Amino acid sequence: MPDVNSTVRFLLGNEPVEIVLNGQSGYLPSTTVLNYLRSLHDHKGVKEGCAEGDCGACTVVAAIPTDSKTLRYVAVNSCLVFLPWLHGKQLITVENLSSDKNLHPVQQWMVEHYGSQCGFCTPGIVMSLFSLYKGNLPADRSTAISSMSGNLCRCTGYQPILDVAVKSLQSVGKDQFSAKEEEVAGYLLSLQSQSLELKSSIQLYHKPGNLNEALAQRKNHPSALLSTGATDLALRQSKKFELLPEILDLSGLQELDFCREEADCWIIGAGTPINDIWSKLGKSIPVLDEVFSVFASHQIRNLATIAGNIGSASPIGDLIPVMISLEAGIILKSNSGEREMPVEDFITGYRTTELKPDEIIHSFRIPKSAISHTIRFFKVSKRRELDISTVSMSARLEFNSNGSIDKAILAFGGMAAKTSRASTAEKYLKGKEWNSETSEEAAKLVTEEFNPISDARSGKEARKIMAGNLLRKLYVETTSNIRQDA
């Protein structure tokens, strides 16, 4: 019998907390961690700015056991995290940072560097800094910029904050949490594989503790909404105020959290957060480094997964064109077996896929042969950091030994109801040399080939021009040393 219960258990700072989510506690299973904290009289440091993952004012840190002795400290947007996600974790907020009335080093540095003015953003910024202090990312300014891109500040200016971020990255991470790390990790680990079955009169929430249970739940509850990182799903509640009647939460399943290298491919588990994939495979698969560097924010990437990106089948999901250009496969699992298909065939239309009601996305296969070819990703968005695409392109060019193009894949986001290939331009390029004339002709074909819509992000004509220009950019960047910012 699996160990199923209706009580979410975690540490708030160093205090054990138990919340029985059976309809009596006043919280729904999908109550966000932000709303939970704001309901407590002594944890109001956390702020709500946008409730959609954009401002970082709600940033908190979760310490997650990696084994029975060590913890990993991840910054997340508490406005996008449901309460059950905390099960088996230590939640650390700005109230927990100081010890013996001494500020935590990152707080002290914020004071010394004049890093705060009105202070609205400061608790979120301090928590992001704390996660850098406790992590082991490279201690350089570009890592500081990318790690702080999910925290907006409207008055101080970013220089002092980035100075503190670099200092935090340089530190060895010792503080009052270090002394208790082993004890905390041991306690939390014992909770990690427990299953939760949370039922209120208006909502049912399943959080299985292992893959077999997850597949059984999927079969028994085919209409439950699936989530892994929940950065997409949570918006339906936090922004659209929808009640999500039934949720099957696949986060935290050990069997889905891996990156494995095989002789001819890499396999990436559906539950692996994007930041983990980036650190493990970013060097081996350069196009992943390109796309992840302009993907959401540090906090979102700590939760978001490739499965959620492909599974939501958004026409502007950045990873869909990339996976198509890598000719990646998607592995689907159900109680009755496993099947694999190209990611390209999995997406059938606007937010529709081949997923059957008893299946989940298990993993992705990226063939190693892909990286011997030219593969580049470009994204046009209103901001470089933390913005979704207006138009994107992931392109692959395979060359013959005589230098002409053997095969081209030009996968575009934002140009149709689903990620689509510019097949006329692809056919045109086959057998041609890659030079200024052929790339220009292909760019014109791309412009003519699509019939995109106009929406809040862009007019139709502008989209067409952008798509053509991305091909021109591809030519410039693949034939010279010039590298332009997307």
Ligand X SMILES: Cc1cc2nc3c(=O)[nH]c(=O)nc-3n(C[C@H](O)[C@H](O)[C@H](O)COP(=O)(O)OP(=O)(O)OC[C@H]3O[C@@H](n4cnc5c(N)ncnc54)[C@H](O)[C@@H]3O)c2cc1C
The contact set with ligand FES (CB under 6 A) reads 48-51, 53-58, 77, 79, 116-122, 153-156
**Distances from the Cα of 13 to the Cα of 48, 96, 124, 158, 181, angstroms:** 20, 6, 16, 28, 12
Q: What is the DSSP letter of 240?
A: T
The smaller minimum CB distance to ligand X, of residues 137 and 235, is found at 235
The smaller minimum CB distance to ligand FES, of residues 36 and 177, is found at 36
Shortest Cβ 299–ligand FES spacing (Å): 7
The smaller minimum CB distance to ligand X, of residues 144 and 270, is found at 270
Q: Which does 118 bind (CB under 5 to 8 A by kind): ligand X, ligand FES, none?
A: ligand FES
The smaller minimum CB distance to ligand FES, of residues 56 and 271, is found at 56
Shortest Cβ 45–ligand FES spacing (Å): 13
Shortest Cβ 34–ligand FES spacing (Å): 6
Which residues contribute to the site for ligand X (CB under 6 A)? 52-54, 225-233, 235, 250, 270, 295-296, 300, 303-305, 307-309, 311-312, 317-319, 355, 360-361, 388
428 vs 369: CA distance, rounded Å: 24
Q: Which residues pair with 266 in a beta bridge?
A: 261, 366
The smaller minimum CB distance to ligand FES, of residues 117 and 335, is found at 117
Six-digit token string for 198: 């949370």
Q: Which does 56 bind (CB under 5 to 8 A by kind): ligand X, ligand FES, none?
A: ligand FES
**DSSP labels for 154-181?**
SSS-HHHHHHHHHHHHHS---SHHHHHH
Identify the three-state secondary structure at position 328.
coil
Which residue type is seen at 438?
T
Question: CB of 207 within 8 A of CB of 221?
Answer: no
Q: Which does 300 bind (CB under 5 to 8 A by kind): ligand X, ligand FES, none?
A: ligand X
Q: Which does 51 bind (CB under 5 to 8 A by kind): ligand FES, ligand X, none?
A: ligand FES
Q: Which does 226 bind (CB under 5 to 8 A by kind): ligand X, ligand FES, none?
A: ligand X
Shortest Cβ 238–ligand FES spacing (Å): 8
Shortest Cβ 211–ligand X spacing (Å): 11
Positive or negative, the CA dihedral 108, 109, 110, 113 is positive
Locate the DSSP E strands across 169-309. 195-199, 204-207, 225-227, 246-249, 259-261, 265-269
The smaller minimum CB distance to ligand X, of residues 194 and 297, is found at 297
Q: Which does 384 bind (CB under 5 to 8 A by kind): ligand FES, ligand X, none?
A: none
Shortest Cβ 122–ligand X spacing (Å): 20
Question: CB of 218 within 8 A of CB of 358?
Answer: yes
CA 150, chain centre distance (Å): 12
The smaller minimum CB distance to ligand X, of residues 228 and 420, is found at 228
Q: Which does 48 bind (CB under 5 to 8 A by kind): ligand X, ligand FES, none?
A: ligand FES
The smaller minimum CB distance to ligand FES, of residues 117 and 400, is found at 117
Q: Which does 318 bind (CB under 5 to 8 A by kind): ligand FES, ligand X, none?
A: ligand X
The smaller minimum CB distance to ligand X, of residues 46 and 250, is found at 250
183 closest CA partner among 91, 86, 69, 89: 69
419 closest CA partner among 367, 331, 469, 352: 352
Q: Which residue in the shown chain puts its C-beta closest to ligand X? A: 308
Q: Which does 49 bind (CB under 5 to 8 A by kind): ligand FES, ligand X, none?
A: ligand FES
> Residue 411: which residues within 8 A CB-CB, separation 6 or more?
320, 321, 322, 324, 325, 344, 393, 394, 395, 419, 420, 421
> Residue 351: which residues within 8 A CB-CB, separation 6 or more?
312, 313, 314
Shortest Cβ 393–ligand X spacing (Å): 14
Shortest Cβ 228–ligand X spacing (Å): 4
Shortest Cβ 396–ligand X spacing (Å): 19
The smaller minimum CB distance to ligand FES, of residues 300 and 474, is found at 300
**DSSP labels for 389-407?**
-SEEEEEEEEE-TTSBEEE
Shortest Cβ 227–ligand X spacing (Å): 4
Locate the DSSP E strands across 97-234. 195-199, 204-207, 225-227
Q: Which does 232 bind (CB under 5 to 8 A by kind): ligand X, ligand FES, none?
A: ligand X
CA 136, chain centre distance (Å): 19
